[in-house]
A and B are shown apart, each in its own frame.
Chain A
Amino acid sequence: MTSLRTTRVLGWIWTRGVLLIAAIFTIIPFLWLIASSFKSNEEFFRSTFLPMDGKRIAWERLTTEPFRRLFTELDFSNSLVNSIFLSSVTGVVATLSCAMGGYALAKFRFKGRGFCTALVLAAVLIPAPLIIAPTYQLLYRLDLLDSFAGLILPALAPAFGVFLFRQAIVSGVPNDLLEAARIDGAGEWRTFATVVLPLVRPMIGTFLMVTFLGMWNNFIAPQVVLQDPSKFPLSVAVAELRRGYYNDYGLQMAGTIISILPVMVLFLVMQKDFVSGLTSGAVKA
């Protein structure tokens, strides 16, 4: 049968073609973003991607001016530092508190365990926008508006994190090991730090990334809580570019690149654990 061969060839072309188109559509906005960030406004209107002079790419018409202005005229280095600080602190503390909570629910039998587990499961259903207004009011009463604490504290207890760590510890930490550590005379905390945590390392990596990204990409909370521009993280600072420099396209795109780049680098470094960790919960459930 010749048709079998034809089908196979057509199938080969079809799969590669589909993936190629998907890849092109994914990558073009990135390339466009990079090209735009090196353009003056005038150039932005003259060319879609790279500036052309006949058939030659006119590299000399590109400029690093937008980036220079971000760090001189504007205080973008400050926003970068703010973003790194907020995301790192939130990521580390939230991951630790969720790992500890998950360990308690996974490996201890105590009165109230069922209640706490049910609480965690139910809390996953609470949509974040529902508690924005009351949280704002609470921060106002605690005098935490316009402070980093007002941003970090509410982000330290994501219920789904406790749930994820509970699952990871139930399936990944054998009771024998805990018993052995106990017999060796290790205290509760040492058992947790030296036996439990190393065994759930992939989950720690995944969750660090999730919480770090969550804070880095968060816009609504800093927009609502912060007033003082010197405290703005990148998300708010970039959005402000659209208000203050509405017709400065190169500047807006340069700010966007600065905001995306650190996360992309982190993602490339962590990608293997991160993607598999992210999907594992859904596939097993």
Chain B
Amino acid sequence: MSAAHSSAGSGFRSRLAPWLFLSPFLVCFALFTLYPLVQSVVLSMQTTFGPGATKFVGLSNFRGLMGDPLFWTALRNTCIYTLGSLFIQLPLALGLALVLETPGLRGRSWIRLLLFSPSMVGVVFAAMMFALIFEKQTGLANQTLNAMLKPVGVDWSLDFGWLQQHVMSALIVASLWMFVGFNMTFFSAALQNVRKDLIEASVVDGAGPIRRFFTVTVPAIRPVAGFVVLMSVIGSFQLFELPFIMFNNTAGPDNRAMTIVLYLFQNGFETGDLGYASAIGWALALILLVCAGVQRLTSRGEEASA
């Protein structure tokens, strides 16, 4: 019996009940998600001058986008940031989770709590901090690196230009602080669910820790890993506040911190062309849809082969 009310109760009230329960959600959802979604298709074929004045332009927004060098800059930067999340952030998060789940570790929950806490800080506020952390001379980043590397004989310059030349590195480092602990928490929850008997069996079979990792742990955490990867890609592709605040409401020197959503924002709310902004939005949605599709296909393939 999946539905409690299918047999019991009858008549009008019970038939109406589910719709009454759904109605607050459905009304808001229809008005503020579905309608804008449809409208974004309409808008993407218009040029607007502010929210009031619109003009139909067909597909020329999309054609313009293809030939727009700034859009490609934005796409390239966003991809670099996403690759940083996938290949620097997630391995670090997994590594930390593995260390954290070492048997017999005391104070585990406190460490997990501490490492998770930066993800509670809104990106806006983290951006405020890191804007100053990456300053030349006085900034914490250069000061720390300088002090740390001195003993090994490397002279890290206090004038290292995080916010001038090494913009993407700065963004990736800031995102490490914000999200490594967050992603680690998911991996660590997954690791707790790895079956103990499988681990013991592999120990009895004489498998070393590396073999054990690839034959027992990896298959067990694969579904969660897939979820974390997809969430990271979706989150990374929507990067906006971090560069926008760090570079004082701009896209940084020579647009070095331009991202897709930042470009969308500039077009929609600084230039006032909601049409072009919507076209950028659809380009983003398309990319994410492809990523989600790829993720589904690969995870389905694993299930089939398992």
Contact = CB atoms under 8 A, between A and B. Distances in A.
A59 interface: no
Contacts of B1: 175
Contacts, number: 287
B25 A162 contact: yes
Main secondary structure of the interface of B (DSSP, over half): helix
Contacts of A197: none
Nearest to B246: A242
A132 interface: yes
Main secondary structure of the interface of A (DSSP, over half): helix
11 contacts: A22-B181, A45-B137, A100-B25, A105-B22, A109-B6, A130-B282, A131-B33, A131-B37, A132-B265, A219-B123, A275-B112
A97 interface: yes
Given A18-B96, A26-B115, A26-B181, A219 B122 contact: yes
Interface residues of A, number: 95
A188 B14 CA distance: 8
A127 B223 CA distance: 22
A192 B5 CA distance: 13
Given A109-B3, A127-B238, A134-B40, 13 more contacts: A26-B181, A100-B24, A103-B21, A104-B17, A104-B22, A123-B29, A135-B32, A156-B28, A178-B5, A216-B122, A220-B265, A239-B245, A275-B116
A32 to B, nearest CB: 5
A229 B290 CA distance: 40
Contacts of A123: 29, 33
A235 interface: yes
A133 interface: yes
A282 B227 CA distance: 7
A44 B14 CA distance: 66
A235 B124 contact: yes
A133 to B, nearest CB: 4
A110 B132 contact: no
Contacts of B189: 276, 279-280, 282-283
B28 A157 contact: yes
Given A110-B18, A252-B132, A239 B116 contact: no
Contact of B52 (A140, A182, A280): A140
Interface in B189-206: 189-190, 193
Contacts of A110: 15, 18-19
A51 B304 CA distance: 62
Interface stretch (B65-73, B81-89, B98-106, B162-170): B98-106
Interface residues of B, number: 102
B2 to A, nearest CB: 7
A82 interface: no
Interface in B29-49: 29, 31-33, 35-37, 39-40, 42-43, 48
B18 A113 contact: yes
A133 B40 contact: yes
Contacts of A253: 128-129, 132
A156 B265 CA distance: 23
A54 interface: no
Contacts of A220: 240-241, 261, 265
B213 to A, nearest CB: 14
Interface string A127-152: 11111111111101100000000000
A285 B278 contact: no
Contacts of A243: 248-249
A125 interface: yes
Contacts of B129: 29, 32-33, 253, 256
A179 B4 contact: yes
A45 B138 contact: yes
B29 A157 contact: yes
**7 closest cross-chain pairs (CB), A and B:** A217-B122, A109-B3, A157-B28, A108-B18, A101-B25, A134-B36, A134-B39
Interface in B106-124: 111-118, 120-124
Nearest to B5: A108
A226 interface: no
Interface string A216-242: 111110001000000000010011011
B17 A36 contact: no
A19 B122 contact: no
A186 to B, nearest CB: 11
Interface in B263-306: 264-265, 268-269, 274, 277-278, 281-282, 284-285, 288-289, 292
